[in-house]
Amino acid sequence: MTATPTPGDILLDLLVILVAAKAVAEIAERVGLPAVVGEMVAGVLVGPSVLGLVEPGPVLSVLGELGIVLLLLDVGLQLDITHLGSVARPATAMAVAGTVLTLGAGWVAATAVIHAGDTALFLAAAVTATSLGISARVFADLGRLDSPEARTVLGAAVVDDVIGLLTLTVVARVVTGEGLSVGSVAGALALAVGFLVVAGVTGVRLAAPLFRAIERLARSPGTPLALALAFSLGLAALADAAGLAPLIGAFVAGLALARTDQRDRVRRDLTPIGHVLIPVFFLRVGIDADLGQAVRPGALWLAAALLVAAVAGKVLCGLFAVGSSADRLVLGLGMVPRGEVGLVFAGLGLQQGVLNGERYGALLITILLTDLLGPVLLRRRLRRGGGG
Amino acid sequence: MTATPTPGDILLDLLVILVAAKAVAEIAERVGLPAVVGEMVAGVLVGPSVLGLVEPGPVLSVLGELGIVLLLLDVGLQLDITHLGSVARPATAMAVAGTVLTLGAGWVAATAVIHAGDTALFLAAAVTATSLGISARVFADLGRLDSPEARTVLGAAVVDDVIGLLTLTVVARVVTGEGLSVGSVAGALALAVGFLVVAGVTGVRLAAPLFRAIERLARSPGTPLALALAFSLGLAALADAAGLAPLIGAFVAGLALARTDQRDRVRRDLTPIGHVLIPVFFLRVGIDADLGQAVRPGALWLAAALLVAAVAGKVLCGLFAVGSSADRLVLGLGMVPRGEVGLVFAGLGLQQGVLNGERYGALLITILLTDLLGPVLLRRRLRRGGGG
């Protein structure tokens, strides 16, 4: 790879990614591991950590971003927003409990290793937020998205992203030395919740008549699909602007499009695009985790301590899903994978000098391991009959 | 747009591109223009020439490159390589005649305007090679890919790319002051023809058993599609390495995959991906043509002279399709659009000081106008009953 890759280089990168993704997914299928774990491992293998065939870069980021938008769009398309509303209480309780438990356990565990309370608190905050994408993929691959377990985990992960955003706002202002005011936190909260409410309500109301009109007016066969995708990209960009993860916007778009007459056709048309682009996202997780940089002596103890806290905090939070009939262990395991919020914390900490290279590496390893461990345990529990 | 766009910015760019592509394609459909022309005009509108909503960049280039790979893959999938072989003679005769006629007419026309024979020859050489993508799209959109006209034009465009590569090798060595040897030209020719023969023969022989094995071994539903795409990306990258346009490799991959049992399923699965990515390529043609930079006083006369020569040279070359029963005007019009080879010439000329800004702009305008005019005239002729 050269410093400035040509389009031809990127086509080769994509070739490597597609072949690696499918080869490892086929192996994972045979040994009973989730395909998503195979894809992340494939990313570690082809990325700079091991073989160095594919370097991280902006093109890969965008293709992966498109992949995760497609996944959450498809997840939203398979759900009924009213069913999702019925799990609002247990989902919120679980998200709040998971945050508090992980923050506490993470702080204790990290302090025990590094003897620096402030940095330990930063590390604990970094591993509080669950990633919406990874468990969604596990439930989707097993055809279990419409179970109470999946709905509760998805709802809790959305709440988690809002909480993660607030934590990040507070922490970012503290570590960059900007003044922390109630206004700035309330503003971030209002923007995030405002997006969810406004996009949710107007999206769900407007999507059906809008796409009925598009269907009536369109003469070119690709128009409804392209505009459904554009609708999702628009909500993803709005979510991004509101401080949330873009995939939350795509999820809301999916919930809205689920109520249109085009639902089945859009899902059918998106499936092959997803087969190609969704693995790019998960491989990128592995490619970006440059383990050669991350694994340093001393990082491993911290990573192990953080991992125990991160897994325990989330597994236990399942017990707080008040009023839910769901399998509590499935709920907890579904909350284990961490994602973008943690990576944003890691980047911020390194940049502001809160984390040295060793602690930054430990954080990356912890996040990657939750992403590998969560799906493995979740799939095993679901296959053994846990959950609807 | 900022200097370093985030993934969120690119998602917004894609949103603009999808909406603009479909809006303009719907309008084009109603006024009887080819959708591909609508898409290129949409590119000019949303790009830096007019509205400045979308800037050219590496991500857009790669997505467009994927789009054109998909288009030519799909075109190849719809053709039978033995039928294509039967038009080899008229296609080659037409390609050679088109090159000679355009070179002559272009040199005369450009010399008349700029009174500089060497530069005029460079400009004429820059507009000799036909682009495979644009006319292929027009034939495909009208469902006419399996006509003798389409096959002859596609075959001639492949030969044109080889001739264009040789012309470029000669011209590049002359203008950069490197010695021109028979060996360097023969080497380029051997590499290009070698790729076509080896990839064509082994690809066509190996694809069927290879994909039969993949089908038998695959357990994950996306595997055959992903590997078909990887196969095409691999041949595209090989074509690129042999000095040809990557889309030639994708075309060969399509011809090979057309002989597998997976042909229909691959085509069906590729259709929605194509609906999204193919327009990105054609919008990019418009986005990259920064007309604000290109249109300068004096450039327009040169562009007009070059355009007349470029269109006349290719329309007349249809007459040389020896032994073909095809409509000669359809053949000639199908050869009008120019593409990547011309743009490579333009970039080289500017970089080496052969072209000043004005003449560079004139060349860009000429290429863009052949891309707009060719499909309009071709579609009109096909609709009026020209060709099978």
Say if residue B2's pLDDT is above 50: no
Taking CA–CA distances from A66, the nearest residue in chain B reads: B11
- Considering only CB atoms, which chain A residues are within 8 Å of B240? 8, 11
For the cut 60, the answer to whether the pLDDT of residue B294 exceeds it is yes
Picking from B288, B302, B197, the residue whose alpha carbon sits closest to that of residue B242 is: B197
Q: Tell me how far the alpha carbon of residue A359 is from its chain's centroid.
A: 22
Q: Please state whether the predicted TM-score (pTM) of the whole model is above 0.90.
A: no
**Average pLDDT estimate for B178-195:** 86
Instruction: Please list, in sequence order, all residues whose beta carbon lies within 8 angstroms of the beta carbon of residue A79, skipping any fewer than 6 positions away.
Output: A145, A146, A151, A154, A254, A255, A258
Mean pLDDT by 10 residues, chain A (388 residues): 58 91 89 88 91 88 91 91 89 96 96 90 93 90 91 93 87 77 86 92 92 89 89 93 90 94 92 92 86 77 95 96 92 92 86 88 92 93 76
Tokens 């038009």 found at:
B87
- Write out chain B residues lying below 8 Å of A236, CB-based: 8, 11
B128 within 8 A of B157, measured Cβ to Cβ: no
How confident is the model at residue A220, as a pLDDT? Answer: 79
The answer to whether the Cβ–Cβ distance between A222 and B22 falls below 8 Å is yes
For residue B10, list chain A residues with Cβ-Cβ distance below 8 A.
62, 65
A229 neighbourhood in chain B, CB within 8 Å: 18, 276
**Which among B3, B32, B221, B295 is positioned nearest to B142, based on CA atoms?**
B32
- Give dist(CA B7, CA B1) in Å, integer: 12
Say what the pLDDT of residue A337 is: 94
What pLDDT sits at residue B212? 93
**CB-CB: which of B35, B58, B237 is closest to A8?**
B237
Cβ contact, residue pair B7, A62, below 8 Å: yes
Mean of the per-residue pLDDT values of chain B: 89
Rg, C-alpha atoms of chain B: 20
**CB-neighbour burial class of residue A6 (10 A; exposed 0-12, middle 13-18, buried 19+):** middle
Taking Cα atoms as reference points, which of A101, A128, A117 lies closest to residue A354?
A: A117
Pick the residue of B46, B62, B216 with the most A CBs within 10 A to test the interface with A by mutation: B62
Taking contacts as CB-CB distances below 8 angstroms, the residues of chain A near B221 are 275
Mean pLDDT of B164-193: 83
Comparison of pLDDT for A344 and B315, the residue scoring more: B315
Please, are residues B324 and B331 in contact by the beta-carbon 8 Å criterion?
Answer: yes
Number of residue pairs across A and B with CB atoms under 8 Å? 164
Tell me the chain A residues in contact with residue B59 when contact means C-beta distances shorter than 8 Å.
58-59, 62
pLDDT class of B4 with cuts at 50, 70, 90: low
**Cα–Cα dist B245/B132, whole Å:** 9
Q: Which residues of B touch A29 (CB under 8 A)?
A: 219-220
The yes-or-no verdict on residue B298 having pLDDT over 80 is no
Q: What pLDDT score was predicted for residue B6?
A: 66
Cβ-Cβ contacts under 8 Å, A239 against chain B: none
**What pLDDT score does A2 carry?**
36
Residue B291 contacts by C-beta under 8 Å, 6 or more apart in sequence? B44, B49, B50, B364, B365, B368
What is the three-class DSSP state of A143?
Answer: coil
Report phi then psi at A130, rounded to 5: -70, 150
User: How many angstroms separate the first and last alpha carbons of chain A?
Assistant: 47
User: Phi/psi class of residue A81: alpha, beta or left (left: φ > 0; alpha: ψ in -120 to 50)?
Assistant: alpha
pLDDT at B248 over 50: yes
Neighbours of B57 (CB within 10 A): 19
Enter the ipTM.
0.85
Q: Do A229 and B18 touch (CB under 8 A)?
A: yes
Average pLDDT over residues B301-328: 94
Q: What is the structure's pLDDT at B387?
A: 59
CB contact under 8 A, B18 and A227: yes
Among B2, B11, B13, B26, the residue to mutate for chain A (most A Cβ within 10 A) = B11
* Per-residue pLDDT at A251: 93
Q: Using CB atoms, which residue from A5, A8, A30 is nearest to B240?
A: A8
Does residue B251 carry a pLDDT above 60?
yes
How far is the alpha carbon of A361 from chain B, nearest alpha carbon, in Å? 24
Q: Which residues contact A115 (CB under 8 A, 6 or more apart)?
A: none
**Minimum CA–CA partner of A13 in chain B:** B233
Chain A: residue whose CA lies nearest to B23: A223
Q: How confident is the model at residue B177 (pLDDT cuts 50, 70, 90)?
A: confident
The Cα B232–Cα A186 span in angstroms is 51
pLDDT in tens, B89-130: 999 999 999 999 999 999 999 999 999 888 999 999 999 999
**Record: contact B272-A225, CB cut-off 8 A:** yes
User: Do B233 and A14 lie within an 8 Å CB cutoff?
Assistant: yes
- Which residue, among A10, A15, A55, A62, would best test binding to B if mutated, counting the most B CBs under 10 Å from its CB? A62
Selecting from B21, B65, B241 the residue whose C-beta is nearest the C-beta of A7 gives B65
Contact A237 B12 (CB under 8 A): yes
Burial B59-77 (b: 16+ CB within 10 A, else e): bbbbbbbbbbbbbbbbbbb
Mean pLDDT across the stretch B272-280? Answer: 92
> With an 8 Å Cβ cutoff, are B218 and A26 in contact?
yes
Residues of A in contact with B226 (CB under 8 A): 18-19, 21-22, 275-276, 279
Q: Hey, which residues does B130 pair with through a beta bridge?
A: B338
> Which residues of chain B make contact with A274, given a CB cutoff of 8 A?
222
Nearest CA in chain B to A277: B226
Are the beta carbons of A269 and B272 separated by less than 8 Å? yes
The pLDDT assigned to A1 comes to 34
CA nearest A171: which of A360, A362, A354? A354
Q: Tokens standing for A166? A: 């607030």
Contact state of A22 with B246 under an 8 Å Cβ cutoff: no
* A318 vs A328: CA distance, rounded Å: 5
